[in-house]
Structure 1
């Protein structure tokens, strides 16, 4: 089995949605650095990184639950999965920061829901993102559009792994918060690309 056949981690979907180059650096080149944002994320996960369970009012909560999908080729751990008395399976993903919409977080949660559906044989129609700073949940409906985006993202990541090259840098506002900015060098690469394009057009006749 080569690396393009290996199961894809949930985190890869989030990384790709945030920035394809970040995803490639982490999952193709195995590069990673910490910054204040990743350390805050690690702190937010401390209470759910250790496997275990708790029950409250008939709801059983499993922490750090390993899940997978053979159909999608996905694997990972859910921070928390709640099993309700009515049979509802409800994943909860922990994130640092305040309650706000982050599409890449929703994508990761939808991937977890699709794995849980395959494992338990029942629909998972909703889940939640728990925002550590505000101590609030944001409920996410697992829509057909979100499911389609999960499958398209998986296909894009596999294509990148098969290609074996880094996508170009975003070189925008996302870069300032990325822990890989020193490895990625988005401004320098964008500047080199600009120089190359200028050299190619330098001696072209003007219209």
Structure 2
């Protein structure tokens, strides 16, 4: 039996954590803790552009017509097995020609859901975005009693879709990160910063995570710069 079918813990609704946190914790545990435990947030140009993009995608007045599919925007998701909740940017219910699928109200035929997550930038080397997308699909599978093999990431910078295979390895990452996220949330401890400036400098949380004084090689160096600004 596939490993991803072996998770059996059931969470209560008040224990659910945000699906978006999977992307954060896969990138940086401290970033996740600052946002989801300490409830801190700071914004830069990238996060602001992403917020605007998601606002447009979730707009119920924005209509999309796709032949052979029913398009749903801003669909609420949850999984009591994974302990996750969130909102899918877009779910395309694609009509099936074979005998596998689910029924939709006021529709004939069978359909399979295909989540589409919108991101402002471009495809990344890490699996951060793919993990979040896979978690959305796993929530849909639990809610609708179906199996989803593929989903899509749409990147605003390239204006292209990336098809993601929801294989066992990716599903296992979702399960392991979900469990780890719940463990850290129960402990309520924010990890110490791991100062990798080549990565951290693009993070919107850098000034909260690592205030400027932390980046100085000495106290004297810090005061020299402060005095220059007076």
TM-score, length-normalised on structure 2? Answer: 0.76
Q: List alignment gaps of at least 5 residues for structure 2.
A: 1-11, 97-110, 219-230
1:70 matched to 2:80? The reply is yes
* 1:46 CA drift (Å): 2.7
Offset from partner CA, 1:159-206 (integer Å, 9 cap, x none)? 1112221112131122111111111117755889xx9xxxxxxxxxxx
SS of equivalent residue, structure 1 residue 177: coil
Q: Would you identify which runs of 4 or more consecutive aligned residues in structure 1 move more than 4 Å?
A: 186-192
1:1-207 aligned within 5 A: 6-51=15-60, 54-86=64-96, 87-172=111-196, 173-185=198-210
CA contact (8 A) 1:127 1:141 kept: yes
Aligned residues of 1:35 and 1:179 also touching (Cα < 8 A): yes
Task: Look up the SS of the partner of 1:152 in the other structure.
Answer: helix
| Cα pair 1:131 1:137 within 8 Å, conserved | yes
Give the TM-score normalised by structure 1. 0.84
State the distance in 2 between where 1:162 and 1:100 align: 30
Distance 1:125 1:103 in 2: 17
1:73 CA drift (Å): 1.1
Give aligned pairs, total.
Answer: 191
